[in-house]
Structure 1
Amino acid sequence: MDEEVVALYDDGGRPDGSAPRSQMRAQNLRHAATGILVRDSYGRVYVHRRTPIKDVYPAYWDFTAGGVVLDGEDPLEGARRELAEELGVTSELVTLGEADYADQSTRYHAFRYLTTWDGEITPQPEEVAYGAWLSLERLLDGLSDAEVPFMPDTRALFGDWVRERAADHGEPYQGRRSLTTLVEGRWLDRVPRFRGVGTGLVAEASLLPLLAPLVPLEVPDTILLDEEPLRVRHHWLPGATAATADLTTEDGRRLGGFLRALHDVPVSAYAGTGIPDETATRARLLRDLERMFHVVLPLLPETHQTRAQDLLRRVAVRAPAGLVHGELAPRHLVIGPGGLAGVVDWARAGVGDPAIDLAWPLYGAPEPVAEAVATSYGVSDEELLRALDWYRLDPWYDVRWEPRTGDQPTGATRLHDLVDRLDVNAAP
């Protein structure tokens, strides 16, 4: 095979002759080279280990593809060629600008690029020994570890870019079970607040890709981003969190149709995803009810004790089961320009009583919206009653988990909400 002829560059970043690759390496001549950082649509970076036969930095870790620019070759075309050869990636490139690098092993003018690729990676055996997709945080962990040999030129040319992207996030929002952070204005990351919540997040990442084509509203395209510490990510769904007072009858119609489709999803569609099955969901419910009986019930006024005990008994009775969101509330509905567009936060998904998902839509939403939900869903009288019990039970969870002291305003307010819910009557 003929030896490659490499484009040499002067100190001003302009072409300045050429030389065979072996001569360029032997004399450490200043040349042109490309570097392409490959991310997937979730923001992960493809990181690989170079083969031991590379002529410079053999067996080092790298997080860019690329190589020398050949004599007479346009740098962009050279980047495309190298990317296709090394990783089998053929997506469009975005320029990150030019820069210079020099050390005792190599000197070159760098043409830097970024690309997004969700297809298969096909590493070139002569170039790549092993590779994997890593989050920016895990990549930075590796870069900060002195025991991990990363390419010094890639560190110098792309390290600041990686750190800037990793720092581009908002303040975490504290939900009932997880912390949610907007990342780079494109993704939502969630980490568990409590032990045990992580299992639901992992199951969600397995469930939602299977569920998405089966329901008429958008659900997050969740993936498991990092295992330790556990973090899941999905694309930010454009829109705003639903405000109860602003919901329309059309939103209610869409929500009812969505819930009907969700509850009709066959078992085969979610088997093996890791979501709690009917036995596990019921066991969790009974544990919660027992804790509520011992911790929350004594806090209620005597006028509501009997009513509250009856509620706990009714909810404990086994009901029909299907795939449920498990915690549906306005904060989980995304409103886009055309109205209700998506449903998010599926960490409590499991196989349980479908009436739990009807609780807030039928009893917490404005009456025209609730009627639209009921009509679109085709709710039965039995489901109306079970949904009411779930609606009455919901504030028990807040009181159950909220630290309580005699003078704590938040705890007192939540307890007042619980008592008010016990007084709610069945829908006509």
Structure 2
Amino acid sequence: MDEVVALYDDGGRPDGSAPRSVMRAQNLRHAATGVIVRDPYGRVYVHRRTPTKDVYPAYWDFTAGGVVLAGEDPLVAARRELAEELGVTSELESLGESDYADMHTSYHAFRYLTTWDGPITPQPEEVAYGAWLSIERLLERMGDPEVLFMPDSRALFGDWLRARVAERGEPHEGWDTWAIEVEGRWLDRAPRFADAEVQLRNEVRLMPRLAPLLPLEVPVPIVLDESPLRVRHRLVTGELATAAPLTRDDGKRLGEFLRALHDMPANIYVESGIPEATAARAELLATLERMLHRVVPLLPADQQEPGRALLRRIALRTPATLVHGDLAAHHVTWSEGRLVGVLDWKDARVADPAVDLAWPLYGTPERFAEAVATSYGVTDDELGRALDWHRLSPWYEAMWGLGPGGADVVDSGVQGILALLDVRKTA
């Protein structure tokens, strides 16, 4: 059936109608809609048009839409076309109106945006293939002269795409990853080293299983781009707890969180790729061996034996369970007067649960630490092991300094080691 299409004048107002075939044959100015579909991680649905389309067959496109029918409201038309083409029925946000014309088509455009968290069901007559792409990858494809993209979508939405890419903060460089805030909604992370890539991929597999079972908010990342690897998660609520006045109630909440984490059934995490107990222990022993030969010689002679004794105690076999592995104030978030989330799970592994108790028990205010110990149910043995893990933390800083960190980081690490080896300052 030949649809009757709404024609529009140069001022963007309805101006009669015509059968679709006539509109195409005479390239009459009409009205059309275009909708960018994003998922909850900000990716855009990109699809290839079928070879049977009447204009630009087999071209790539990143919008869904079509002509406005005679007497049809543009918003209704956009919803109709979106549901028909992709099976998407979410609410639309207007991106304004614009105009486009070339030798094949001329129309007044009604532009929209939507976010969709459901399945895509492409219309076989309209869509040959589709996939989710990050905006950066989409712009790369659009810049490739070998990839044919719809010229009207380029013209009408290109500036909007580029503006989204520009909405990012300053990169933060960590020891093994870099991170950057995107559009005030997401955090992107990428590995600096090959080992960190493995860790990030393990985190992507682990967190969807873990998040629903924990009493505090945690990130649930996805792989945004494969090569080079980039993962993204929605920003966890709150600010870093580095300057937060941690309260007794915060300690209770973190203790309950750690109890839930450490009691997690093994079937939740065994298939996630995180290092299991044997592999994690082998890695720990190798790290302790490097510390023995590289860090201990940096200590004053009278502190070298206490340093070796600490490494021997850490090397002893202990109970093992799933741990966060790097719990500290800069990986905890705080909002509206309370602790609300735990970040950065790339170091998760099966290891001594006292690893996660070190900072809460020995690096926080007394009221907080007491509440953690009570709500968690800490044993005397765990108290002692947690203290040793607390003492070990600056050794990692010194090791990092001996690598890419530099001499100043080494000096800082050694000073931290000496301070914590003094039992009177920490026990």
User: TM-score, normalised on structure 2?
Assistant: 0.97
Match of 2:358 in 1: 359
SS at match of 1:123: coil
Match of 1:73 in 2: 72
Match of 1:294 in 2: 293
Amino acid at match of 1:342: G
Taking the aligned partners of 1:14 and 1:424, their CA distance within structure 2 comes to: 80
Amino acid at match of 2:58: A
Match of 1:251 in 2: 250
Match of 2:343 in 1: 344
1:195-234 to 2 correspondences below 5 Å: 195-234=194-233
Amino acid at match of 1:81: R
Shift of 1:411: 2.6
1:142-221 to 2 correspondences below 5 Å: 142-221=141-220
Taking the aligned partners of 2:225 and 2:408, their CA distance within structure 1 comes to: 38
Shift of 1:276: 1.4
Asked if structure 2 preserves the Cα contact closer than 8 Å seen for 1:404 and 1:411, the reply is: no
Amino acid at match of 1:33: A
Taking the aligned partners of 2:425 and 2:272, their CA distance within structure 1 comes to: 36
Match of 2:397 in 1: 398
Shift of 1:425: 5.3
- CA offsets 1:74-105 (integer angstroms, 9 cap, x no match): 10000000000000000000000001111111
Taking the aligned partners of 2:177 and 2:75, their CA distance within structure 1 comes to: 43
- CA offsets 1:43-72 (integer angstroms, 9 cap, x no match): 110001111111111111100000010111
Taking the aligned partners of 1:339 and 1:68, their CA distance within structure 2 comes to: 52
Amino acid at match of 1:228: S
Asked if structure 1 preserves the Cα contact closer than 8 Å seen for 2:100 and 2:156, the reply is: yes
SS at match of 2:194: coil
Shift of 1:413: 2.2
Taking the aligned partners of 1:244 and 1:10, their CA distance within structure 2 comes to: 60
Query: May I ask how many residue pairs the two structures share in their alignment?
Result: 426
Asked if structure 2 preserves the Cα contact closer than 8 Å seen for 1:384 and 1:427, the reply is: no
Shift of 1:245: 6.3
Amino acid at match of 1:352: A
Match of 2:125 in 1: 126
Shift of 1:409: 3.8
1:235 matches 2:219? no
Percent identical among aligned pairs is 65
- CA offsets 1:208-243 (integer angstroms, 9 cap, x no match): 111112111111121111111111111112311103
Shift of 1:172: 1.0
Amino acid at match of 1:144: G
Match of 1:335 in 2: 334
Asked if structure 2 preserves the Cα contact closer than 8 Å seen for 1:95 and 1:113, the reply is: yes
Asked if structure 1 preserves the Cα contact closer than 8 Å seen for 2:43 and 2:134, the reply is: yes
Taking the aligned partners of 1:424 and 1:48, their CA distance within structure 2 comes to: 63
SS at match of 2:10: coil
Taking the aligned partners of 2:164 and 2:247, their CA distance within structure 1 comes to: 38
SS at match of 1:369: helix
1:100 matches 2:99? yes
Asked if structure 2 preserves the Cα contact closer than 8 Å seen for 1:395 and 1:417, the reply is: yes
Taking the aligned partners of 2:39 and 2:189, their CA distance within structure 1 comes to: 19
SS at match of 1:402: helix
SS at match of 1:274: coil
Match of 2:307 in 1: 308
Match of 2:259 in 1: 260
Match of 2:55 in 1: 56
- Structure 1, 257-266 or 273-282: larger mean CA deviation: 273-282
Taking the aligned partners of 1:168 and 1:307, their CA distance within structure 2 comes to: 50
Amino acid at match of 2:107: Y
Aligned pair in 2 of structure 1 residues 404, 218: CA closer, same or farther (>3 Å)? closer
- Structure 1, 109-118 or 244-253: larger mean CA deviation: 244-253
- CA offsets 1:97-144 (integer angstroms, 9 cap, x no match): 001111111111100000010001000000011111111111111111
Match of 1:415 in 2: 414
Taking the aligned partners of 1:35 and 1:420, their CA distance within structure 2 comes to: 63
Amino acid at match of 2:162: R
| Divergent runs of 4+, >6 A | none
Match of 1:6 in 2: 5
Amino acid at match of 1:32: A
Q: Which runs of 5+ in 1 are unaligned?
A: none
Amino acid at match of 1:289: L
Asked if structure 2 preserves the Cα contact closer than 8 Å seen for 1:334 and 1:341, the reply is: yes
Aligned pair in 2 of structure 1 residues 404, 115: CA closer, same or farther (>3 Å)? closer
1:36 matches 2:31? no
Asked if structure 2 preserves the Cα contact closer than 8 Å seen for 1:6 and 1:31, the reply is: yes
Asked if structure 1 preserves the Cα contact closer than 8 Å seen for 2:224 and 2:231, the reply is: yes
Shift of 1:244: 5.7
SS at match of 2:96: strand
Taking the aligned partners of 1:383 and 1:109, their CA distance within structure 2 comes to: 69
Amino acid at match of 2:339: L
Match of 1:281 in 2: 280
Aligned pair in 2 of structure 1 residues 362, 103: CA closer, same or farther (>3 Å)? same
- CA offsets 1:358-393 (integer angstroms, 9 cap, x no match): 011111111111111111100111111111111111
Q: Which runs of 5+ in 2 are unaligned?
A: none
Aligned pair in 2 of structure 1 residues 241, 426: CA closer, same or farther (>3 Å)? same
User: TM-score, normalised on structure 1?
Assistant: 0.97
Match of 2:14 in 1: 15
Aligned pair in 2 of structure 1 residues 245, 17: CA closer, same or farther (>3 Å)? closer
Amino acid at match of 2:286: R
Taking the aligned partners of 1:291 and 1:97, their CA distance within structure 2 comes to: 61
Amino acid at match of 1:197: A
Match of 1:113 in 2: 112
SS at match of 1:298: helix
Asked if structure 2 preserves the Cα contact closer than 8 Å seen for 1:392 and 1:424, the reply is: no
Taking the aligned partners of 1:105 and 1:27, their CA distance within structure 2 comes to: 9
Taking the aligned partners of 2:424 and 2:258, their CA distance within structure 1 comes to: 23
Taking the aligned partners of 1:244 and 1:160, their CA distance within structure 2 comes to: 39
Taking the aligned partners of 1:403 and 1:321, their CA distance within structure 2 comes to: 29
Asked if structure 2 preserves the Cα contact closer than 8 Å seen for 1:168 and 1:183, the reply is: yes
- Structure 1, 206-215 or 81-90: larger mean CA deviation: 206-215
